Amino acid sequence: MPIRHHISDQLLMAYSAGQLPEAFSLIMAVHLSMCDDCKARLGAFDAVGGVVMGGCDAVAMGTDSLAATLAKLDNPVPTPPRVQSSLPAPLADYIGGDLSAVKWRSLGAGVRQAILPTDKSATARLLYIPAGKPVPDHGHRGTELTLVLQGAFHDEVDRFGPGDLEIADEELNHQPIAEAGADCICLAATDAPLRFNAFIPRLVQPFFRI
């Protein structure tokens, strides 16, 4: 099925300007590798940004800038070989392999997560939700981005399949449920802790960093 849920203009503009946390930028890069429509829109934002930069006042460079640049050209950083993976290239390069390289941690009821190393301004994680299983219903204290990699889930908003991006804010309370027939694997990022409605998820929340 075609991708139906895309990156918002606000997020795409922030990504183009390099203003997003690392975890959010990772999700943008993965979605863009799967979505030609958003890739084209990003090109338009990049072009506008280039025009704006072209109109800015020039800034004097340091006296050693040219020498430092030439030194880096003389000693390039070797590019690691591209790993074979069923995952989108930006994510495969990020984790250094396929799903077999992921170190999952159980969250209960078959749901698993793997937190990815990013800067502290937001948290990125892979989520594995068995077919037909829900995650605890919750709200948000900030923004949560959820990108479907495999399978699908549905919630109070809509159905989300491979490549679809759900953007949740403080106004949304939902309970994602993986569709029957296939396990659902998502890449998610949050810039604030979730707000769980049930007692047990709230109790274990600090241990699982969600």
Task: Kindly give the confidence (pLDDT) of every residue in the chain, 210 residues in length, as a single tens digit, with 9 standing for 90 and above.
Answer: 799 999 999 999 999 999 999 999 999 999 999 999 999 999 998 887 665 655 666 677 788 877 777 777 777 666 666 666 788 999 998 888 888 889 999 988 899 999 999 998 999 999 999 999 999 899 999 999 999 999 999 999 999 999 999 999 999 999 999 999 999 999 999 999 988 888 677 777 776 677
pLDDT score of 209: 74
Catalogue all structural domains in the chain, each as residue range(s) with its CATH number: 1-210 (2.60.120.10)
Give how far the C-alpha of residue 192 lies from the chain's centroid of Cα atoms, to the nearest Å.
Answer: 14
pLDDT score of 51: 57
Sign, CA dihedral 200-205-208-210, equals: positive
The C-alpha atoms of residue 29 and residue 43 are separated, in whole angstroms, by 13
Nearest to 23 by CA among 196, 145, 194, 176: 145
The C-alpha atoms of residue 114 and residue 124 are separated, in whole angstroms, by 9
Q: Find the length of the chain.
A: 210
Torsion of CA 113, 118, 123, 128, to 10 degrees: -20
The pTM assigned to this predicted structure is 0.84
One-letter amino acid for residue 126 of the chain:
L
